[in-house]
Structures are given as structure tokens and as C-alpha cells.
Amino acid sequence: MGHIQRFPTSTKSVATNPLKMSQPIGAALAFLGMDRSLPLFHGSQGCTAFGLVLLVRHFREAIPLQTTAMDQVSTILGGYENLEEALKNIDERMKPALIGVATTGVTETKGEDLAGHLATFRQRNPTLAHLNLVFVNTPDFAGGFEDGFAAAVTGIVEAFAEPSRSTVKGQVNILAGCHLTPGDVEEIRDIVESFGLTPIILPDLSLSMSGRQPDDFTPTSLGGTTIDQVRAMGQSEATLVLGEQMRTAAAALELKTDVRSLFFDRLTGLEVSDRFIRALAEISGRPVPARLRRQRESLVDAMLDGHFYTARKRVVVALEPDLLHAVTGFLADLGAQVVGAVSPTQAPVLEKLRAGTVMVGDHTDAEALADGCDLIISNSHGRQGAARAGVELFRMGLPQFDRLGAGLTVSVGYRGTRDLLFALANRFLAQETEHHADHDADGGGHDCHGGGGCGCSAG
């Protein structure tokens, strides 16, 4: 690809059809990957309600999420009392193993001293010493979803990880960024375990957000990483860091434990998966299992079969930074042309992207870039713009409220990459065959008036 237009200056004052979601929700999701945890937003009750609905619609799971319910008076005078009362109420009613507190725009604008709050709470409540707490600063007016997720993981590491003199043979840490679905995390665990390794995954959404069926009413997360596991991370042989967003957490972990880190910015693609598998073989000292060898052959075969349909296809991708990097990188691996890459927020990983235009923007920017393209890859909010642009929408990322199983799609490792390749190539294949046939048959009469109201994206 020739010249890349990076960050065209935007003079817009209004964000139209925003791609960005705020930091606290990202933090909430990370906390939900901890066992029996309960995220708490320090802000007005609406901050929590919106986040809750968003996550419920995407995962189709109960989302434990609470609020300090700040009102006018506490907003002005300071919210420590609300925070303390909330922590006590939650402990009493739900007995969570962990409460993860995330600030919001309201409490950050006031400038609440979170570290001070934590110290005061500990001082005033010696009887609640058993309560595990992580406090993170996640202002709504800076950064976005991915930053909040990363901040929470860093907070968890800083609160609980401990150095250790001994090493447990075969134990590895995995820091899993939010570009990975609970399904991806499950797949990664399978791959790692197939080398005889014992992974500690932080956070582990595959144990909480993948359709668990609890025996009794559970007001907290249904599973996830335990605090004891985080404490034991110092005994691991290595830390596999998945996603650029996890670098800060990885640095914090390495600083505390001296366990060496290995970075993997993406796991979608043949060569990037090879690198991951090679690392696992080295750490474990074991040969690559036959199952993975077969899966690699299968992916190679899929690339041979599928490249006809993906080559030179013009695609616009609008996703959170690390997922944007994974998807645009993989599209480039397949010979597709990434016309535009739109990120909701600024992030270091954007410097790595290969696309005609790389920009921080909203769904309207993606819509404008998509003129004459073959596909838009974005979350469900992209459907209106895709319909107007007359371009098909391929759903990835969050939220996907009009599709089932969004949290369980797998696009990492040989098998996941193969499945994503088939899904993408099939859309292009269908465009080449079925769509034309449909239009020949009924005169192009698609019974939808645009706007994506019928849930279709063809327009």
C-alpha cells in the first residue's frame, strides 16, 4: 500500500453516531473477569444503568454492576460517604470476593482523591479488612473502553500480585486484553494447556461471561480469576502479554514479580499464531501437539481456498484500537485493502496500522470512508451508516446487540483465524454470487427502507 493518511485533522465539534464508549465500562468488564466480583461505579446512577444495559445487550448475561448513586449534594460536597456506604452495603448483601471501584466523569470532575478514599475507608473500617478492593481512575472524559479495561487490570495487578522466590514449573501468566472475546480466552486456554502448561489468565472472561449456569442465585460474577491466582502470578515462568493495551499492566507485573514478559500484539493470523505456538513450545519444552499441527494445516488450506475472495477487497474497519490492529493486520495478511481504519480513541498501537486512512473518529467517519467499499467491519452501531453507504456490515467488537453469541466467537489461533477467514470470505463470496442472483430474481427488491431498522445491513 502506498501513502498512508494518518490522523487527518478533524474540526468537528459534534461526534455523530459515536464509536467510543467510556472508560468505566471497560473497567467493569475487566472486573467481571475476576471470580465472584462486583464492579462499582463511583458516580450518578445513570452512569451504571447505561453501562449495564450495554453489556447485557451484548453478552446476554446478567451483569452485576453497582453505583454509589451520587446526588446533587454529594456531587458538590464530595462522595466519600456514598462510597463507604456502597462498599458496606455490597459487602453485607452480596459478599463478593472483590469489589472493583471505577470513577466516572462526575467524581473525576469534582477531583475526588481515590487513593485517599481507600486509605480512609481502611482506617475507619478495621472490621472490613477482609474486603478485597481495587480502586481505579477512569474518567469518562478521557480515553475510552480499552483504556478503562487496561486500567482495571493494572489496578488488580498492583493490588494483589506478589513477588515469589520459587517458580512453579509449567505455570504461565496470561494478560488478556479486551480485544479477546470470552470465546477467544477459552481457545487460548485450550492451546496453552495442550502444551501441559498451567495458565493463570487475567482477567478470565471465559469463566464468567460464557453462559454459565449457576446452581443458585448469584449476585456477583459467575467465575473468573481468583485473587489467590493473582497472588501466585509471581511464581510463573513467564507472562504472555496479549494486546498492546496490556503493556502497562505487564510492566507493573514484571516490576513486582520479575517474571519475564513476552508480547503478542495480535493472535489472529497464521504467522502471528506461529510465533505464539513457538513460544509455548519453548516454555514447555514439549513438541507441538498433533491437534494444533492439524489445525495449522487446515488454516493453510483455508487461506489457499479463500484468498480468491479476499484479495483486493476494499474494507473499512472501525473498532477499539487493539481489535482494530488485529483485524486490519489480518485483512492485510489476506491481501485485502484496508481503505480506512477508524479508532474511537488515540492509542500507541495505531502507529502500527496499515490502512489508506488511519483516524480517530466515529461511525460517520467510517461511513464516509466506506464509499465504494466492499465491507465495513464494526460493532452493531455501524448498521445505520452501513445501510446508508450501501455497504454490508460485518459485526465484530462490542456492542453487538442484534446477534447471538457475539461473546463466544473465536478468531485467535489457527482454528479461530480459519473460522474468521471463512466468515469473511463467505460474505465476499455471497456478494459475488447470491446477491446478484437475488437482485436478478426480484429486481433488487430488498424489503427494507434503509436505516437498518429491519436488522439487515444491505440497505
Which residues, 6+ apart, have CB-to-CB distance to 371 below 8 Å?
389
* Smaller CB separation from other proteins, 99 or 250: 99
* Residue found by looking up cell 502497562 in the block: 248
Which residues, 6+ apart, have CB-to-CB distance to 109 below 8 Å?
139, 141
* Smaller CB separation from other proteins, 103 or 417: 103
| Shortest Å distance, C-beta 214 to other proteins | 6
By the rule CB under 8 A, 401 interacts with other proteins: yes
Contacting other proteins within 321-350 (CB under 8 A)? none
* Smaller CB separation from other proteins, 39 or 243: 39
| Shortest Å distance, C-beta 362 to other proteins | 8
By the rule CB under 8 A, 221 interacts with other proteins: no
Contact 269, 329 (CB under 8 A): yes
**What b/e sequence results for 351-373 when a residue is b if at least 16 CB atoms lie within 10 Å of its CB, and e otherwise?**
eebebbbbbbbbbbbbbebbeeb
| Shortest Å distance, C-beta 65 to other proteins | 9
Contact 53, 26 (CB under 8 A): no
d(CA 180, CA 407): 9
Contacting other proteins within 32-91 (CB under 8 A)? 40, 43-54, 56-57, 61-62, 66-72, 75-76, 82-83, 85-90
d(CA 399, CA 65): 17
Q: In what order do the strands lie in the sheet with 171-176?
A: 198-202, 171-176, 238-242, 261-264
* Smaller CB separation from other proteins, 216 or 447: 216
Contact 228, 97 (CB under 8 A): no
* Smaller CB separation from other proteins, 307 or 388: 388
Contact 290, 296 (CB under 8 A): no
In this structure, the dihedral spanned by the alpha carbons of residues 343, 347, 353 and 359, taken in order and rounded to 10 degrees, is 40
| Shortest Å distance, C-beta 57 to other proteins | 7
Which amino acid is located at 22 in the chain? S
* Smaller CB separation from other proteins, 112 or 265: 112
* Smaller CB separation from other proteins, 50 or 422: 50
Contact with other proteins (CB under 8 A): which of 266, 325, 381, 418? Answer: 381
* Smaller CB separation from other proteins, 94 or 281: 94
Contact with other proteins (CB under 8 A): which of 144, 177, 183, 413? Answer: 144
By the rule CB under 8 A, 18 interacts with other proteins: yes
Which residues, 6+ apart, have CB-to-CB distance to 363 below 8 Å?
16, 17, 18, 19, 318, 378, 381, 382, 384, 385
By the rule CB under 8 A, 410 interacts with other proteins: no
C-alpha cell at 410: 473465536
Stretch that binds other proteins, among 11-19, 149-157, 184-192, 423-431 (CB under 8 A): 11-19
Contact with other proteins (CB under 8 A): which of 4, 10, 119, 141? Answer: 141
| Shortest Å distance, C-beta 353 to other proteins | 22
* Residue found by looking up cell 482494530 in the block: 324
* Smaller CB separation from other proteins, 70 or 246: 70
Which residues, 6+ apart, have CB-to-CB distance to 408 below 8 Å?
181, 182, 183, 210, 211
By the rule CB under 8 A, 125 interacts with other proteins: no
By the rule CB under 8 A, 194 interacts with other proteins: no
| CA 61 vs CA 46, 66, 212, 381, 406: distances in Å | 20, 16, 9, 20, 12
| Shortest Å distance, C-beta 326 to other proteins | 22
Residues making contact with other proteins (CB under 8 A): 12-18, 20-22, 24-25, 40, 43-54, 56-57, 61-62, 66-72, 75-76, 82-83, 85-90, 93, 104-106, 109-110, 139-142, 144, 213-214, 216-217, 219, 381, 384, 401, 450-451, 453
